Structure 1
Amino acid sequence: MHVIVATDGSVASLAGARQFQHIADSREITDVTVVAVVSPYAAVPFANEITERRNTEPTDFSFQAEAAAAVDLVAGLFEDWGPVIHRQVRSGSPAAEIIRAAEEADAGLISLASGDRGLTTTILLGSTASRVQHSAPCPVLICRPSRTGR
């Protein structure tokens, strides 16, 4: 089975990837594609909270480089796990691009985190996770990290 693991560069998405790895049976998974999506209309850079920032000046941020660094870190979780690892940085609407990645890969599962962006402290499910859940071509595992970040 091919699995899409989405990251938005948040600590929650890293914890969600770890949760997925903990509960999944690696013998059943042939491929893992780690996907990050950069919005072409973003007013701020890709919110990479999980790797060291190479650029610290607001004018030096590279949305693509920050997203690629987050993808590399999450993909590293699966390096010795068994499946073939693919990395993608896409541009567009996060939900639409995660769904498109799943369709293109004929994925059997999408795994993503919820609850670490925008208004999600006051609502139960993040908007991207909700959109993916309702429109995905396959089952969706939505991980909500514990308060300790695990």
Structure 2
Amino acid sequence: MITIRRILVPTDFSECATPAVRYAAELADKFEAELVLLHVVPDTVLALPDAVMPTPTPMTDLDTLTESGKTGLANLITAMKLEKYKPRAEVRLGSPEQEIVEAVKDLNVDLVCIATHGREGIARVLLGSVAEMVVRHAPCPVLTVRPGTC
């Protein structure tokens, strides 16, 4: 028998992530599993000035971004009426695909529910699909959820 005790759902707060959150919540309810919402604040190392940039880009305050992530998760919990699941909210800093996989390991996650779309256009081509990387590297099953499926 399949036992699912903890479900992780990463979110970037986009519309595309909403169906994955819904699936995760429904599965958490059916399996009486813990629901963990994760937001990853992208590491700003990618935005540091380099030789081809004429002027340095302003550094974003990571504490502010982390607090915004916590607020965003709290707002998501309220907006989607997830309080009854008593979800755990996690905010991490770093590369989204790496931090999601690390969270899976750190939290002993049994299932990841992740949206298949986030970044679009050239950003996806250059940086790759976060969902694809999670599918390849997560040590547990990953349910990918396409936009418009809920």
Same fold (TM over 0.5): yes
SS at match of 1:117: coil
One-letter code aligned to 1:17 = V
Counterpart CA distance in 2 for 1:27 and 1:143 is: 18
Structure 1 Cα separation of the partners of residues 98 and 61 of structure 2: 28
Aligned to 2:146: 144
Cα contact 1:9–1:67 (8 A) shared by 2: no
Q: Which runs of 5+ in 1 are unaligned?
A: 44-58
* Residues 1:104 and 1:86: Cα distance change in structure 2 (over 3 Å): same
Deviations 1:74-118 (A, max 9, x none): 33442113xx42111100110111111111111110111121312
Which one-letter code corresponds to 2:139 in the other structure? P
Q: Which structure has the highest helix share of the two?
A: 2
Percent identity for Structure 1 against Structure 2: 27
In structure 2, what is the Cα distance between the partners aligned to 1:97 and 1:136? 11
User: What is the CA RMSD across the aligned residues, in angstroms?
Assistant: 2.8
Unmatched 5+ residue regions in structure 2?
48-59
After superposition, give the CA deviation of every residue in 1:121-143 in whole Å (9 maximum; x if it has no partner): x98xx610000000001001111
**Contact 1:20–1:111 (CA<8 Å) still a contact in 2?**
yes
Aligned length: 128
TM-score by length of 2: 0.71
Which structure has the bigger radius of gyration? Answer: 2
Does residue 34 of structure 1 match 2:48? no
Match of 1:4 among 4, 8, 16: 8
